[in-house]
Amino acid sequence: MKTTALTPCRIAWVGKRYLPEWNPSLLEKNCRTSEMFLTTKQNTPLNSSLKYEAERTSKLQVTETVHKRFPKTMPYISESFNKCSIVGSSGILLNSTCGQSIDSSDFVVRFNLAHVQKFAKDVGSRTDLITCNPGLMKLMYGSLSREGSKRFTAFLKREYPKATLLFPAFTYHFSSKPSFRAQDALKKQRYNVVYLHPLHHMMVKKFWKSQKVDEVRISSGLMLFTSMMSFCKEVHLYGYWPFAEDVDGNPLHYHYFDEKAIMLSSEKLKKRIHNMPAEFDKYRSWHNKGAIRLHVGHCTVP
């Protein structure tokens, strides 16, 4: 399958030529992904405490009940992924026909319960890891009561039958309970639930601040991009497009799966906690230096 990867700045793929300042090992050195990406029994001992990433004065005591929720060691560390695709939710994916290209990957990451099956031709259907914002989950499924849990599991079975769910359970103190509740609700359904380690989150934020990405909070897209660079030989980004128009000036939906979601005004964008354009500039730079593939055009099947 042949794919295109052009942006309004006419980015062109220049091949693999890792320059020292763009070497992915720099991310591993600063963010310790292979050791701290997810919360495990190994990096978070019993009776230790977890400091919440966004509430530095708040801590969670790792009791036996909490500790048993974590995997013993870091998942994915022993895997060898040649091609990983990280799929954002930008409307630029509509009519892209990138689904086959995405599904041909060894590992696919998605965000915040984005719908896929109805849009599989453009976004693919394979999902290995998907982030789940506790606040969004509460908005969609309440507190996972009996009825909410039923709808939640039905949605997951339809959209992501084999995915692992990644919760930022230790960002704020109020993120832990709904994340744990989701894990309990999915236990019988054999879904795997993992938690982002708050220390890794802090290190990633610190690294990108040193790279002049100035924002209140880094996005989930930047967080997972950073992490996957340590696990994957090739990283491909799809749907990472923070603009209201495509390369030809055509208006876009904010999310490919939601026609009602619209782009924020320039004034409102300034008040957001994420600085998507600044993040995009970094993806573009990494693309131009041959470290990643940034796909924002159409994917064509020969």
CB 275 within 8 A of CB 73: no
Do 261 and 227 form a contact (C-beta atoms < 8 A)? Answer: no
Query: Does residue 42 lie within any of the structural domains?
Result: no
Query: Is residue 53 scored above 90 in pLDDT?
Result: yes
Single out the residue of 144, 85, 149, 81 nearest to residue 116, CA to CA.
Answer: 85
Q: Is residue 209 part of a domain?
A: yes
Burial class (CB in 10 A: 0-12, 13-18, 19+), 8: middle
Please report, for the domain that includes residue 130, its CATH number. 3.90.1480.20
Within a 13 Å sphere around the CA of 137, how many CA atoms are in the beta-carbon half? 32
In a domain, 59, yes or no: no
**How many CA atoms does the CB half-sphere of 115 hold within 13 Å?**
11
In a domain, 127, yes or no: yes
Confidence of residue 301 (pLDDT cuts 50, 70, 90): low
In this structure, is residue 52 part of a structural domain?
A: no
Structural domain including 241 reads 2-33+81-300
Asked if the structure places residue 46 within a domain, the reply is: no
Q: State the total domains in the chain.
A: 1
In a domain, 211, yes or no: yes
Least confident stretch, 30-34, 234-238, 263-267, 285-289? 263-267
- Catalytic residues, by residue number, are 274
pLDDT beyond 90 at 139: no
Max mean pLDDT among 7-16, 196-205, 254-263 falls in 196-205
User: For a pLDDT cut of 70, what percent of the chain falls above it?
Assistant: 86
Mean pLDDT of 125-145: 87
Tell whether 221 is covered by a domain.
yes
Predicted confidence at residue 200, as pLDDT, reads 96
Assign 3-state DSSP to the chain and report helix, strand, coil percentages, each to 5: 35, 15, 45
Residue 149 has pLDDT above 90, yes or no: no
pLDDT at residue number 1: 43
Span of 11-25, 89-103, 274-288 with lowest mean pLDDT: 11-25
Distances (CA, A) of 287 to 16, 226, 246, 282, 295: 10, 14, 18, 8, 9
Q: Is the pLDDT reported for residue 158 higher than 90? A: yes
